Structure 1
Amino acid sequence: MSTINYSEKIPNNVNLGEDRTLQRALEGWQPNFINWWDDVGPDGSTNYDVYLRTAVSVDPQGWAQFGHVKMRDYRWGIFLNPGDANREIHFGDHKGEKAWQDVPGEHRANLRRIIVTQGDTEPASVEQQRHLGLTAPSMYDMRNLFQINVEEGRHLWAMVYLLHKHFGRDGREEAEALLHRQSGDVDNPRILGAFNEKTPDWLAFFMFTYFTDRDGKFQLSALAESAFDPLARTTKFMLTEEAHHMFVGESGVSRVLSRTAAVMNELKTDDPQKVRAAGAIDLGTIQRYLNFHYSVTIDLFGADQSSNAATFYSSGLKGRYEEGKRTDDHILKGQTYKVLEVKDGQLLEKEVPMLNALNEVLRDDFIKDSVAGVGRWNKVLEKAGIPTRLTVPHKAFNRQIGALAGIKMSPEGRVVNEQEWAAKKSEWLPTSDDFAFVASLMGRVIEPGKFAGWIAPPVMGINRQPVDFEYVRFG
């Protein structure tokens, strides 16, 4: 078991104590991180004791320890999966060579850009979710929110360690900048669009953790293949924590649907206004939230054709999802992939070089995974005898990046004109009325075992604790 040294000021399993210069640099960054947490971390939570899991090893069988801690005292640290001295690069132009322990000069700028972009998403989501604790539908949900927040903070530490250790002064400057950008800031926003959107309510939070944290899963999985071994080992461990974030989203939406279905059955109606009047979230609103979060998230994969994606792959910097399970030559020169374009008002497929379409390959893997989860949500409705089904919109719907940016498209995948888009947009995407209604339900419920009226309790508690366990102690 690869345990983590908790006697250090910064818990780690990378022998930080043996590199005094690096240790001093990170200990200099630490107070700035705490200041950032105090300024834009979870609002009003300073004195709460929260039932959190903390990594105590990077062994998948025994890596987490549970207990009540103050979030400000959470043992953030630097944890890499165990290394393999014989690891080889298994894709791209360097296939078969030894994995790199240091950054090759010619790949320095691209690797730094990849690490900074990934690192920037981590504090962004904490900032986006900052006020949600004030409207938590239960103590159980509040605890899950805070668990995600501290782990996003730790994922920031993971990227900052790589920047400090491997990128010299440039890396130190980038690490500082990660704390200075802010989600939604007009002058200094976060790098990726989805991380500047508001997360105004808990339905948005559940959709975000289901879809946008799933983007994280796929991006981290692609980086876990990297020829740069410290990045691969770092992201592999981050994936262990990411699974809980997606669970919170998937189970959260399931519980919303369960409560909505119960109200529809009690009232024997599918009239959205009557469902709303009874204090539940109608299925149309849930579908519109789904459409928005899904479309914003698939933009995160980037342009459908990208010379950067080709360079990152051929250079060995970033692989595909589950690269090792694929049966092609892992070099991809001469192979093709289908992408979409709109020509003369029609949506058409065209073949392009696969190396240039790797963003689209990753997006399609994400879509397949997302659709499976939406199928599980539909099982909740089916079990309750509700005939309505949620659907994932067409991947060309509401896109802002790539060849499909700005195309007016119905959720079913039909190209529409400006007039139809304007007339139907309020059926397809959340409206100000939807946001106002969902906001009106967001009252805080903090008595152990009690839940807001718009969401069902979970099937079981965290770490085999009962659902009415005191997950948060308010100081």
Structure 2
Amino acid sequence: MPTRIDYDAKIPNNVDLSSNRRLQRALEGWQPKFMNWWAEMGPTLETHGVYLRTAVSVGREGWAHFDHVIPQDYRWGIFLAEHDPDRRIAFGQHKGEPAWQQVPGEYRADLQRLIVIQGDTEPASVEQQRLLGLTAPSLYDLRNLFQVNVEEGRHLWAMVYLLHAYFGKEGREEAEALLYRNSGSPDSPRILGAFNEETADWLAFYMFTYFTDRDGKYQLGTLKESAFDPLSRTCEFMLKEEAHHMFVGTTGVDRVVTRSAELIREHDTLDIAAHGGIPLDIIQRYINFHYSVSLDLFGSETSTNAANYYTSGLKGRWQETRRKDDHQLTDDSAALEKPRPDGTWGTEEIQAILALNLDLRGEYIADCHTGIKRWNKILADSGIDYTFRLPHPGFNRAVGINSGYHITPDGTIVDEQTWQDGKKNWLPTSEDLTFVRSLMKPVYERGKIASWVAPPSNGINGKPFDYTYVYLT
């Protein structure tokens, strides 16, 4: 498989698509449907060109090319990471066997389901963010939004290729359905709840790209371990692109906190709403919401499906090959913290093979703490006595063992009335949302930025902040 990407083809690819005319025709038939979806559900704001990066190679020597591109002319394609002919399955009952180049019949339905669920998230986030360009705080931020959107579109292509290439008629039908479902639709919503939530302001966008795209990182990381080699190589390259999305979220929240800290110091008050800044308690409530909704994406703490995927070799653990165990988990155990009906917490010992979702969630939570530390350091360096915190994993949950309980951010189990009374202090209120949206005035002048967010410390690809990242119509 070439590491360079063929951009002379109608569909850019490095999978030698031209050698399989039937597959090529099928994907070329899906391509105009994708373009129709992009025109209808993609970014609303029209541009004359956005400074976007495009993959030109999947090799380790470097892979990105930057240039101004009109988003609807972006060359979406099919890119798999380099093939390792000696790759072996690293876990489960097939551990040590050669990685699969085709789908084993007994695992066909499960693999297809995993690909469909991952594929469904990619266009969903584009749909959630389609109006944000109308209120971009700077051309730099507008460029980052478009970069995230076109790459999510390419990640959809990545999953659609697998469905078409390896799953026959059923795969083609599932690829069609990926364009039929829409985020928030009452009749045909996206599969996972977090991808039906509204992303109506830029603070929510930064939180989404920090917390929810970070879930994507961990889900892709487990699929990268898959015994099905085409899926593994697809996810390995997707992870390279996903890193930028999390960068947008991390530095975006950095800049909101920095600007809020500046206004607090300037006016000597935490109540900076009147001065055009986002108060720290509102930022905390946004953290609480987006973190808790993203935790639901990991599924139930105990899962026989996850155990079966692992045993079969379909989906591994985060950084599976670095784990110092037998990669079978037949005799290992894990501790599960559970709420009790009497309002206390207990611990249950369960089989590790049943706690794979819990294991992955733990890796994610540890990673999320790095952002909290960053944002608290900004406040500490500004001499501000305020501390952001991640809420307890049981807080505001709709999935798993905590979903039937009312749990406060500090982990206290409370009754319905106490929850309703405290909710306004823990989750964004309608007043919070209205206020934040009132700040969302577009700033399209080169080198200028909205007053509620600080400029970035560095531009994109060595360019300054005042570079013309976007040409508007």
TM range (shorter): over 0.9
Offset at residue 60 of structure 1 (A) = 3.6
Query: What displacement does 1:328 show?
Result: 0.6
- Measure how far apart 1:406 and its partner are: 3.0
Q: Is the 8 A contact 1:398 1:406 kept in 2?
A: no
Letter of the 2:280 counterpart: L
The structural deviation recorded for 1:44 is 2.7
Matches within 5 A, 1:233-244: 233-244=233-244
For 1:264-303, what per-residue CA distance to the aligned partner results, in whole angstroms no more than 9, with x for missing partners?
Answer: 0000112x3xx00000000000000000000000110000
Is 1:25 aligned with 2:22? no
Q: CA deviation at 1:349?
A: 1.8
For the 8 Å contact 1:88–1:95, the answer to whether it is kept is yes
Q: Which residue of 1 aligns with 2:291?
A: 294
Task: Name the SS of the counterpart of 2:92 in structure 1.
Answer: coil
- Deviation per residue, 1:364-392 (Å, 9 max, x gap): 10000001121111111111111101100
For the pair 1:336 / 2:337, whether they are aligned, the reply is no
Distance 1:170 1:466 in 2: 48
C-alpha separation in 1, matches of 2:401 and 2:458: 44
- Which of the residues 338, 343, 350 maps onto 1:352? 350
- Percent identical among aligned pairs is 60
Corresponding residue SS for 2:298: coil
Rounded Cα–Cα distance in structure 1 between residues aligned with 2:337 and 2:61: 43
Instruction: Give 2:313's aligned residue.
Output: 316
On the 8 A contact 1:304/1:403 being kept in 2, the answer is yes
Query: Secondary structure of 1:48's partner?
Result: strand
**3-state SS, counterpart of residue 300 of structure 1:** helix
Aligned 8 A contact 1:207 1:249 in 2: yes
- Number of the residue aligned with 1:459: 457
The match for 1:276 is: 273
Question: What is the Cα deviation at residue 61 of structure 1?
Answer: 3.3
Instruction: Report the number of matched residues.
Output: 471
Q: Which residue of structure 1 lines up, in the alignment, with residue 322 of structure 2?
A: 325
Q: What pairs up with 1:215-226 in 2 under 5 angstroms? A: 215-226=215-226
Using structure 1 for the length normalisation, give the TM-score: 0.98
- Please, which of 374, 389, 392 is the counterpart of residue 391 of structure 1? 389
Q: Give, in angstroms, the shift of residue 429 of structure 1.
A: 0.2
Q: Deviations over 1:342-401 (max 9, x none)?
A: 112112221111111100100010000001121111111111111101100000000100
Match of 1:264 in 2: 264
Q: Distance in 1 between matches of 2:133 and 2:337?
A: 41
Which letter does structure 1 place at the counterpart of 2:464? P
Letter in 2 for 1:160: V
Supply the distance in 2 between the matched residues of 1:220 and 1:60 (Cα, whole angstroms): 19
SS for the counterpart of 1:338 is: strand
2:355 aligns to what SS in structure 1? helix
Is residue 121 of structure 1 aligned with residue 118 of structure 2?
no
Secondary structure class of the residue paired with 2:6: coil
- The CA distance in 2 between the partners of 1:133 and 1:44, in whole Å, is 6
Q: Which residue of 1 aligns with 2:425?
A: 427
Letter in 1 for 2:395: F
Code of the aligned partner of 2:288: N
Q: For the residues of structure 2 that align with 1:50 and 1:60, how far apart are their CA atoms?
A: 26
Give me the whole-angstrom Cα distance separating, in 1, the residues matched to 2:381 and 2:462: 26
Q: Note if contact 1:60-1:240 (Cα within 8 Å) is conserved in structure 2.
A: no
Question: Post-superposition shift, 1:107?
Answer: 0.2
Instruction: Give the TM-score normalised by structure 2.
Output: 0.99
1:211 maps to 211
Q: Which residue of 1 aligns with 2:75?
A: 75
Aligned amino acid, residue 68 of structure 1: H
Counterpart amino acid of 2:332? Q
One-letter amino acid of the structure 2 residue matched with residue 54 of structure 1: T
Matches within 5 A, 1:100-139: 100-139=100-139
Q: 1:263 to 1:168 in 2, by over 3 A?
A: same
Q: Distance in 2 between matches of 1:2 and 1:334?
A: 41
What are the within-5 Å matches in structure 2 for residues 401-412 of structure 1? 401-412=399-410
State the distance in 2 between where 1:133 and 1:113 align. 33
Question: What is the identity, as a one-letter code, of the residue corresponding to 1:322?
Answer: Q
Q: Does residue 1:34 correspond to 2:31, yes or no?
A: no
